[in-house]
Structure 1
Amino acid sequence: MTSDKPPGAEFVIGAAAAVGAGFFTNPIDVVKIRLQLQGELEARGSYRKVYRNTFHAAYLIARHEGLFALQSGIVPALGFQVVLNGTRLGSYNLAKRYQLTLNDDGETNILRTVLVSGVAGSIGAIIGSPLYLVKTQLQAQSAQTIAVGHQHNHGGTISALKLLWQNGGFLGLYRGWYANIPRVFVGSATQLTCFGLFSDWLRPMEIYNGKPILLTFVASLLGGSCVAITMQPFDVLATRLYNQGTDVKGNGVLYNGLFDALYKIFKTEGIFGLYKGVFPTWLRIAPHTILCLVFYEKIARIYNDLGN
């Protein structure tokens, strides 16, 4: 990337790349949400499994709700991608461009990359929290016969945002805003740090000479796979906190916060409860990471070519 690129370009390119990736991976996100809500606060083996696995869940959703149901919440999902990855990828690539995340050898500095990517991701997550809230609730909505978790019965993105505003104003829109911070900090830091480290490791190999897209593809696949393991418990926490019902005062009826949710889920569902939906998480985050970073690389190159 050229050094004369306007700083704001990184943020625009990051947002555009994430929207492209999000469109393709949203169906897996819908499946993941359903599996994470199945058997909420019920002991393992004590409830009927509506969804037996990832593929069965996708089949049931398409059968009972139609194929378009697999793109539930796509509008707020893509809006969240613009905010999150415009901030996160923009900050990461801008910092990398000015060598703020590199060591003296021009390779990834782990601590700096973790801090830049984690903090930037957290800021994006907080700003975009209302969109993630609506996205989660819309993706959880389903036909009564296959419903799991609390059903908010929103009519769509706009009506959901209006309802949240009417019931709680600004605080209503930002209900549970803290729930996504550990998820995005850990996920972002893992993804981009591992991507940088794998890129450094793979780059000297002859197979990648003159093939930056191939290098980005492989490094992002490896980095994205790491995310599924580290982020999953925090992903489950975020889904549960954002989707839970509220009382007349706007307080959650199941969980009082992150630590309360962590305690209750672990106590009733065990460690496996915190890893519900881990396969669709990997099935989503690995391709999402690949598409996001490859799209970024391609868009940035097109931008540079147009500017030369």
Structure 2
Amino acid sequence: MTDTKEKTMPKYVKFLFGGSAGMGATLFVQPLDLVKNRMQLAATQQERATSVQVIKKIITNEGVTAMYTGLSAGLLRQATYTTTRLGVYSWLFETFSQEGKPPSFLAKAALGMAAGMVGAFVGTPAEVSLIRMTADGRLPANERRNYKNVFDALLRITKEEGLLTLWRGAIPTMGRAMVVNAAQLATYSQAKQILLNTGFFRDGILLHFCASMISGLVTTAASMPVDIAKTRIQNMKTIDGKPEYKGAVDVLVKVVKNEGPFALWKGFTPYYFRLGPHTVLTFIFLEQMNGAYNRIVLGKSGTGGQL
């Protein structure tokens, strides 16, 4: 008897491609992550600057290559966070699908939030390393941590501050992931539908780019207060046995009190211009890898759908 069952892409390959696509996108947007983190950590009036001023200062004081400081941590974050998030979402999606019928839109949003939360927990050690590595250049030479790469950062943090420090800021990181996933799911879908209804767009890269940028605007506004709390907690130092912040709420209260309410959206521009393009680039890389796998391994045309 001939096996007529159509060959499909294995799940582990989908997860591998998803993580790889995220890592590929990070190669392009890492400088924006660096600028965003530096701006969020600027607590005094003297440190505050625009995105352009921050970039100019980094290049002048640290060199052009410094724009990619923390790249190894950024790549590891994608390898852990993105792969886990996609894997958990796919598993939950199948679990809550009934008789081949997919979950409702609200259910998908809830599944996305849950998957984002789990992925963020797994990715927090890389996130802590990324925040510290990108922040190092703003410190005086004698106060810098000078991690060589993400693995050196992980080992030294564990040795010098304890294993649990790798998960410092895990709660706001998970909260941010839930906000980002919920906002992106709702606004991306809605923006795509509205743009298609205008008659000026067809389903393709341009539509995905524009919808991603609109979605990124809403997502950035919604998630930045949680993101700044996460960034400061993960970069804080313990002085005389006392941590700089007690938790995410303490960060937000102190930021509003000392720097004003608009400081909660500090680094908005680089954060926004990182979020949209990162989504689009991830999508493009994913399409290319899916297409190549279908042609070379499965012997058929098409992308095989997205994750």
2:13 counterpart (3, 9, 31)? 9
Question: Counterpart of 2:237 in 1: which secondary structure?
Answer: coil
2:206 counterpart (206, 214, 239)? 214
- Per the TM alignment, residue 264 of structure 1 is displaced from its structure 2 partner at its CA by 1.8
Length-normalised TM-score, structure 2: 0.83
Cross-structure match for 1:265: 255
Alignment check: 8 A CA contact 1:129 1:180 kept: yes
Alignment check: 8 A CA contact 2:168 2:233 kept: no
Question: Counterpart of 1:4 in 2: which secondary structure?
Answer: coil
Cross-structure match for 1:256: 246
Alignment check: 8 A CA contact 1:121 1:184 kept: yes
Equivalent residue pairs, number: 291
Alignment check: 8 A CA contact 1:12 1:90 kept: no
Which protein shows a greater Rg? 2
Describe the shift of the 1:134–1:265 C-alpha distance in structure 2 as closer, same or farther (beyond 3 A): same
Question: Aligned partner of 2:177: which letter?
Answer: V
- Per the TM alignment, residue 247 of structure 1 is displaced from its structure 2 partner at its CA by 4.4
Length-normalised TM-score, structure 1: 0.83
> Are 1:238 and 2:233 an aligned pair?
no
1:57 counterpart (43, 54, 58)? 54
Q: How far apart are the structure 1 equivalents of 2:198 and 2:295?
A: 26
Question: Aligned partner of 1:135: which letter?
Answer: L
Cross-structure match for 1:173: 166
Q: How far apart are the structure 1 equivalents of 2:126 and 2:77?
A: 6
Q: How far apart are the structure 1 equivalents of 2:194 and 2:96?
A: 18
Alignment check: 8 A CA contact 1:152 1:245 kept: no
Q: How far apart are the structure 2 equivalents of 1:109 and 1:195?
A: 16
Alignment check: 8 A CA contact 1:233 1:274 kept: yes
Cross-structure match for 1:35: 39
Q: How far apart are the structure 2 equivalents of 1:27 and 1:171?
A: 28
Question: Counterpart of 1:5 in 2: which secondary structure?
Answer: coil
Question: Aligned partner of 1:174: which letter?
Answer: W
Cross-structure match for 2:147: 154
Q: How far apart are the structure 2 equivalents of 1:8 and 1:75?
A: 23
Alignment check: 8 A CA contact 1:17 1:296 kept: yes
- Per the TM alignment, residue 133 of structure 1 is displaced from its structure 2 partner at its CA by 0.3
Question: Aligned partner of 2:155: which letter?
Answer: K
Question: Counterpart of 1:240 in 2: which secondary structure?
Answer: helix
Cross-structure match for 2:134: 139
Q: How far apart are the structure 2 equivalents of 1:99 and 1:90?
A: 14
Q: How far apart are the structure 2 equivalents of 1:66 and 1:19?
A: 24
Can you give the 5+ residue segments of structure 2 that lack an aligned partner in the other structure?
1-5, 301-307
Cross-structure match for 2:69: 72
Question: Counterpart of 2:262 in 1: which secondary structure?
Answer: helix
> Are 1:23 and 2:27 an aligned pair?
yes
Q: How far apart are the structure 1 equivalents of 2:154 and 2:281?
A: 29
Cross-structure match for 2:277: 287
Moved more, 159-168 or 196-205: 196-205
Q: How far apart are the structure 2 equivalents of 1:196 and 1:93?
A: 18
Describe the shift of the 1:194–1:91 C-alpha distance in structure 2 as closer, same or farther (beyond 3 A): farther
Question: Counterpart of 1:255 in 2: which secondary structure?
Answer: coil
Coordinate RMSD, CA, aligned = 3.0
Identity of aligned residues (%): 29
Q: How far apart are the structure 1 equivalents of 2:173 and 2:295?
A: 37
